[in-house]
Amino acid sequence: MADLSLPQAVTLPDYFTLGQLALPTGASDDNKVPDLLSKALNSTLHKERWKYSKAAPVLEGLVNAMVQPTLVGADQAGVQVSRKPHHKDTFDFDLSQAPEAFARLCYAEEAIFIHIEETPAAPLEIKHSGSTLPVLLSLGENVQATVLEHFTDVEVAQNTLWINLAEGSHLMHSRNSLEEAPLHWQYLAVNIGKNANYLLNNHATGARLRRQDIQIKVSGQGGNAELVSAAMVGAKMALDQQVTLEHLVANGKSKQVVHNIVADGGKCTFNGRIHIHEGANGTDATLANKNLGLGKNATINTKPELEIYTDDVSCAHGATIGQLSDQELFYLTSRGISPQSAQSLLSEGFLRQCTQGPLAEAALPVLIDAIKQEQNP
């Protein structure tokens, strides 16, 4: 892979001068950020993460015009929205995982800061149309909230979201990425504090390229993270999911269950990495990625990783790639169900296992319809 570069020079946005947004490690001032970004973009780790997708179109689109996402429920009690970080918030940025996300934050003339200080009565909805301004969301101590994230049909879209969970908070996060787009890049970073809980329900279809970068850090003892994801990738479509889950301290828990179906001629990549840092004793982390190919020309790349630097942990990871069971298909067809209907029923059941949360009712019909379209082109 040739060396990557950013489309324009990078300078830190004004809100970094407030001192509440932590600069990346090694960036003592504005002048050092470009060099750090260049090194991160061309590091071995970054090139490995972009092994199956082209990074250049994403980098070129970082400077595209950005619009404000639509917020529903932001006017209710306990929710504060501004263009500056809340005085209690500190966001950390890790260039090693996704330097393009930090670059996009720098290119944005402004960002949207949402702070939830009290448990709201209703969910907060974030609706993206096209490339939207960066969103930085934080929950105060012991707050319980639900965030619903939607993406609408666009030509090219880029969306970035940082989440910070204070001690004892609980966030249920549901996102539907079901629109058709030539290119859609999504970046999500979550920092989980002491005894905080984060649950992500992710539903997606393919696009010409849909790239989902998800970076979750359990940085407080007793923190818990759960990812449940279901996706249907059609013919000539691609989905690239890169998930990193880091346990930085002791007694954290995490669980990932990801089910993907790939049609004949479709392409799906899943790279799931669990990183247990030194001293994170008592960590309990699991990852299971299951993939179904609906034809001989379905391309599936899966790479579950465990990186452990401490003892006294309970960790498991696994991945499977296969096709629908001939025995199950025979059982259904022998009872009068047509072969196409039998395939649809089994595929639907496979996705239903991971179609959960408040947006499941809206997601499931779209996923089922995508399955049927591939079986009846």
Identify the pLDDT of residue 312.
92
Nearest to 258 by CA among 246, 276, 249, 270: 270
- Amino acid 344 reads S
Identify the pLDDT of residue 146.
98
pLDDT in tens, 39-68: 889 998 888 889 999 888 899 989 888 899
pLDDT in tens, 6-30: 998 888 777 765 555 556 555 555 5
Identify the pLDDT of residue 341.
87
Identify the pLDDT of residue 17.
58
Q: What is the mean pLDDT of residues 220-247?
A: 96
Q: What is the mean pLDDT of residues 231-242?
A: 95
Structure tokens at 96: 């090693």
Identify the pLDDT of residue 121.
96
pLDDT in tens, 171-195: 999 999 998 788 899 999 999 999 9
Q: How far is CA 95 from CA 159, 189, 268, 313, in A?
A: 17, 12, 25, 27
Identify the pLDDT of residue 16.
67
Identify the pLDDT of residue 143.
98
- Does 1 have pLDDT greater than 80? no
- Does 155 have pLDDT greater than 80? no
pLDDT in tens, 65-77: 889 999 999 999 9
Cβ–Cβ < 8 Å for 178, 151: yes
For the chain, the maximum distance between any two Cα atoms, rounded to a whole number of angstroms, is 70
* Residue recorded with tokens 């799906």: 268
Q: What is the mean pLDDT of residues 228-245?
A: 96
- Kindly indicate the confidence band of residue 223, based on its pLDDT and cuts at 50, 70 and 90: very high
Identify the pLDDT of residue 181.
81
Structure tokens at 3: 């060396």
Identify the pLDDT of residue 152.
82
Instruction: Please state, in angstroms and rounded to a whole number, the distance separating the CA atoms of residues 78 and 7.
Output: 39
Nearest to 267 by CA among 243, 291, 303: 291
Name, in order, each residue with C-beta under 8 angstroms of 219's C-beta and a sequence gap of 6 or more.
191, 192, 193, 248, 249
- Nearest-10 Cα torsion for 139, 145, 146, 150: -30
Instruction: Please state, in angstroms and rounded to a whole number, the distance separating the CA atoms of residues 55 and 261.
Output: 24
- Kindly indicate the confidence band of residue 360, based on its pLDDT and cuts at 50, 70 and 90: very high
Identify which of 81-90, 153-162, 307-316 has the greatest average pLDDT. 307-316
- Does 145 have pLDDT greater than 90? yes
The percent of residues above 90 in pLDDT, for the chain, comes to 63
The percent of residues above 70 in pLDDT, for the chain, comes to 94
Task: Supply φ then ψ for residue 287, to 5 degrees.
Answer: -145, 130
pTM above 0.85, yes or no: yes
Identify the pLDDT of residue 170.
98
Identify the pLDDT of residue 33.
79
